[in-house]
Amino acid sequence: MPFVKIWIHAVWTTKNRIPFFHQEIRQEVFKHIHQNALEKGIYMDIVNGYSEHVHCLFRLKNDQAISKVLQLIKGELSFWINRQKLMKSKFQWQDEYFAVSVSESQVDTVRNYIRNQEDHHKKKSFKEEYDEFIQKYGFQVLKDKCIE
């Protein structure tokens, strides 16, 4: 039996960064992401975000790929949001996402960062946060292809 413990911090945005996740529905949506992930065998540690984006910290199993995990989460959530009529118009995600591995020693730091998104975004816009991620993780070459 393989023993695998790979933590992933993933971020994705609404289509065109439209701020759909208003205070009233934000926690309902994030709770649904968490429950749906667990139902699909995805160990989702924490989910949070702000009006136009989602952060999550999850652990990959030996037979899971980041792309498949995010496809399952994002696809089902779009369907659920539209079926629940939580938005006036059709809800969609941006195709791209940001994902990086997290060392075991940094899991608590990332967890706290995700938990405190609302306070974080009182001081910094998502655009500023995005630009910092791009620089911090060396994605400059890919910037035009990332989640802008």
Q: Which pLDDT does position 134 carry in this prediction? A: 79
Q: Which pLDDT does position 140 carry in this prediction? A: 64
pLDDT tens for residues 85-115?
888 888 999 988 999 999 999 999 999 999 9
Largest CA distance in the chain: 48
* Alpha helices (runs of H) in the chain, residue ranges in sequence order: 23-39, 66-84, 107-115, 117-123, 126-136
Confidence of residue 148 (pLDDT cuts 50, 70, 90): very low
CA distance 123 to 128: 10
Complete domains list, the chain, with CATH: 6-145 (3.30.70.1290)
CA distance 97 to 127: 14
pLDDT tens for residues 49-84?
998 999 999 999 999 999 999 999 999 999 999 999
pTM: 0.86
- CB-based contact 58:37 (threshold 8 Å): yes
Tokens at 124, concatenated: 């910094």
- CB-based contact 87:52 (threshold 8 Å): no
